[in-house]
Amino acid sequence: MKKIATLLSIIIGTSTAFAAEPDYPTKPVSIIVAYAPGGQGDVFARLVGEKLTTIYKQPVVVDNKPGVSGTVGTRAAAKAKNDGYTLLLGQTGEIAVNRLLIKDMGYDPLKDLVPVVMIGNAPLVMLAPADAPYNTVNEFIQMARAKPGEFSFGTVGAGTPGHLSAVALGLGAKLNMVHVPYKGVGPLLSDLMAGRLQAFFSSASAAMPQIKGGKLKALGVTTPKRMSSLPDVPTIAESGLPGFSYTLWGGLFAPAGTPASAIDSLNREVNTLLAQPDIRARLEADNVAVPKNTPTEFADYVKSESAKFEKLIKDANVKVDQ
């Protein structure tokens, strides 16, 4: 009887301890952004961080750690304590692409980080000079084929989504184009407007002011469906390259081994806040799709995107000097 009583007291004591364990979070949460303030990922992180601070009644702060194509910040998140208090705002490049192009990063984003929730998915827009003699993707392809090696496209760096979208177009349409990397969008857009470049795959948010101002024209969009803000601009998929889909997506990731309770809480709260009409309207105004998703659904999406980029980079023999 004494043994049974002792066992019961242990069970009751353990149950009481679990019941008394405070809900997540009980202290500030950090969201690492692997780039300087102002980019799409930074916008996502600050929007979510501000709202989660109110929901959790704990500070949720953004920590910008730029450097080496996003690897500095991503490494810091991958190596952080897996207690749910350090997160990463991971995007297409730092999760799916860098691992294929940069050697010895010191971590594997697909093994050392786990998807928590996707925040947004944004299209790219294929831009051309306003006075270019081509007005559609098909016309661009025909002219580029007729002048192999004479058409050039600009990017903000090798391995970026804009670069890989252009590579996918060239591979799919069998084009011989020249890649011209820039250190910033400003000089690139100047050269594109002047006709020194023939194309640029831009984020939609950066493209819209140039299109509306008549300084550049849109030939196509990289999403499977047309953009609501550019309903007359066809997708590249419907322009002769079926299945063409390259986007800028971003979401929260946590170090592998983070408690499921923290991941589930973050997923639930972020999905709830993204469903709020004002938040959805703010993101959709920038042509960002806001899909409700579970950690498993986000993980499956990341896996499929990673496989897609792996095939593209291998087929096109893309290399980046590091």
The b-or-e profile of 210-228 (16+ CB within 10 A means b, else e) is: bbeeeebbbbbbbbeebbe
- In the prediction, which pLDDT does 2 show? 47
pLDDT > 90 fraction of the chain, expressed in percent and rounded: 80
Give the mean pLDDT of 221-226.
93
Which residue, among 303, 252, 319, 256, has the nearest Cα to 96 in the 3D structure? 303
In contact, 309 and 161? CB cutoff 8 Å: no
* Location of each CATH 3.40.190.150 domain in the chain: 24-122+247-316
- pTM comes to 0.86
Render pLDDT for 71-116 as a digit per residue (tens, 0 to 9): 999 999 999 999 999 999 999 999 999 999 998 899 999 999 999 9
What is the band of 234 on the pLDDT scale with cuts at 50, 70, 90? very high
- In the prediction, which pLDDT does 153 show? 98
Question: Does the CA dihedral 106-112-300-85 come out positive or negative?
Answer: negative
Report the DSSP beta bridge partners of residue 155.
181
Tell me: pLDDT of 16 over 50.
no
In contact, 123 and 231? CB cutoff 8 Å: no
* Location of each CATH 3.40.190.10 domain in the chain: 123-239
Render pLDDT for 124-163 as a digit per residue (tens, 0 to 9): 999 999 999 999 999 999 999 999 999 999 998 888 899 9
- In the prediction, which pLDDT does 184 show? 84
Which residue, among 130, 133, 125, has the nearest Cα to 233 in the 3D structure? 125
**Which CA distances in Å does 54 have to 47, 63, 118, 176?**
12, 18, 20, 52
When the candidates are 3.40.190.10, 2.40.30.10, 3.40.1110.10, 3.30.365.10, the CATH number that belongs to 123-239 is 3.40.190.10
Q: Which of 16-20, 41-45, 58-62 has the highest mean pLDDT?
A: 58-62
Read off the tokens for 28: 């500030």
Which residue, among 84, 92, 69, has the nearest Cα to 114 in the 3D structure? 84
Read off the tokens for 269: 């709260």
- The CATH code for residues 24-122+247-316 is 3.40.190.150
